[in-house]
Structure 1
Amino acid sequence: MTESTYTKLRVTRQDRVATVTIDNPPVNILDVTLMGEVRRFLASMHNDPDTRVIVFESADPEFFIAHVDMTLGEQPEALNELQRDVPENLNPFQAFAEALRAQPQVTIVKLAGLARGGGAEFVLAADMAFAAEERAGLAQCEALMGIIPGGGATQYLGQRMTRGRVLEAILG
């Protein structure tokens, strides 16, 4: 897949590093199109011997990925395409994060801005994340809605942070 086929991603390559800039205005909502493009990009890179590192960044300085598109609850059929090729017992959001975790290249997130909900789950699925001072943040807005984070964050957070920081991210 060529970079020109993406509408929400800008991909550049230098040496053995692919840099993916997420650009889904106004606040980088994790919608079906963005999830599909990221999964297609990761699949296209999976067996690429010339790429050793994939860096994800945001075109929006305030949001890495704001959260999952909340209108998906009103149109569940929109997830049908994403549900194809998803391993058994995973929902599309979990499969989205697991695609990143399964990537053979080193995956790095440059976190400058907020990553909430599905965005936080994406950040935590990467091999490494580097946060900009005073601008970066993680949040699980699911707690405000009375639901459990569904994309894997509750599992990933414990590997990255202390229990207290995990509770702060999920409940804060």
Structure 2
Amino acid sequence: MNLRETLNETSETLANGKVTYASAEGVALITLTNAPANGYSYEMMRDLDEAILRARFDAEIFVVVIAGAGEKFFCAGADISMLDAVTPTYKYAFCLHANETMLRLEHTPKLVIAALGGHCVGGGLEIAMAADLRYARRGSGKCGLPEVALGVLPGTGGTQRLARAVGASRAIELMADGTTFDYDRAEALGLINGQVDAASEDEFLDAILAKARGYCPPEKAGMSVGLIKRAVQSGVDLPLESGLALERELQQRLFQSEDAREGIAAFAQKRKATFQGK
């Protein structure tokens, strides 16, 4: 039984029925499950928030993978029919909570990988950009932030994270044009880390889960990976001196860990380190 099959056996549908959560071998798999396009609502964000917190508090989890159910969509963004039906006050509260959820994902000290199988547009791309690493199934769909066609802007962090990923001028152009583009261009822009050639969504997810597993003990010091992520995500927008102070504090936490003792000893003894994530 491979890791995907093991995760399927542990999968649990969360309270609002829009996200499933599974964990095994140091990896948590969070799957968006709102057919037909995995569009998100407040209910999905509540489930996603719960899944993020569950992974954050689980000392046995080192890497989080976020995927979309089905072959065609990672996530097509916010449920437009829902937005059409609710008040402006509700829309604001919805966007605020979604932003808070993405920040919680971004600042959880565990590596987060977005597995983009199918289209990833609008709020779907905004979710993906809150992950640390993004890999797409080659040829499976398009991505972009086309909210301008609705008379609004990308309101779940899109304006900020896209500018940080591709530069301000290019981000403005992409959003103002409402451009959607394939994953080849996304990779050229630096918006995704790479693509996987896979004949099916299961094969694609197997590849991403194998990559995720490679960041876990005993191969990698999971705490070190998580705090590298934390140093970058929390420090990148700080003044350099403040970022360096954060780096030093996180390094001190690692110096006190069993994995740091093992890694340094293994190097000195010219042997392969075996990490425990502690």
Give me the TM-score of the superposition, normalised by structure 2: 0.53
Q: What are the Cα deviations for residues 37-79 of structure 1, in whole angstroms up to 9, with x where unaligned?
A: 0001112222221100000111121111112012234224995
> Structure 1: any 5+ residue segments left out of the alignment?
none
Counterpart residue number, 1:68: 78
Does structure 2 retain, via aligned residues, the 8 Å contact 1:30–1:68? yes
Counterpart residue number, 1:16: 26
Residue 37 (str. 1) matches residue 42 (str. 2): no
Residue 105 (str. 1) matches residue 110 (str. 2): yes
Does structure 2 retain, via aligned residues, the 8 Å contact 1:32–1:78? no
Shift of 1:141: 2.1
Indicate the structure with greater strand content: 1
Indicate the structure with greater helix content: 2
Residue 94 (str. 1) matches residue 99 (str. 2): yes
Does structure 1 retain, via aligned residues, the 8 Å contact 2:21–2:51? no
Residue 156 (str. 1) matches residue 167 (str. 2): no
CA pair 77-149 structure 1, distance change in 2 beyond 3 A: closer
Counterpart residue number, 1:3: 12
Paired amino acid for 1:3? E
For 1:158, what is the secondary structure of its paired residue?
helix
The structure with the larger Rg is: 2
- Aligned to 1:48, which of 40, 58, 62? 58
**RMSD between superposed Cα atoms in Å:** 2.7
CA pair 136-37 structure 1, distance change in 2 beyond 3 A: same
Provide the aligned length of Structure 1 versus Structure 2. Answer: 165
CA pair 27-33 structure 1, distance change in 2 beyond 3 A: same
Matches of 2:102 and 2:111 in 1, distance apart? 14
Matches of 1:105 and 1:169 in 2, distance apart? 30
Counterpart residue number, 2:67: 57
Which aligned pairs between 1:114-133 and structure 2 lie closer than 5 A? 114-133=119-138
For 1:91, what is the secondary structure of its paired residue?
helix
Matches of 2:64 and 2:110 in 1, distance apart? 7
For 2:43, what is the secondary structure of its paired residue?
helix
Shift of 1:28: 0.5
Matches of 2:146 and 2:140 in 1, distance apart? 18
Q: What are the Cα deviations for residues 52-109 of structure 1, in whole angstroms up to 9, with x where unaligned?
A: 00001111211111120122342249959x95xx9xxx82232232121122211100
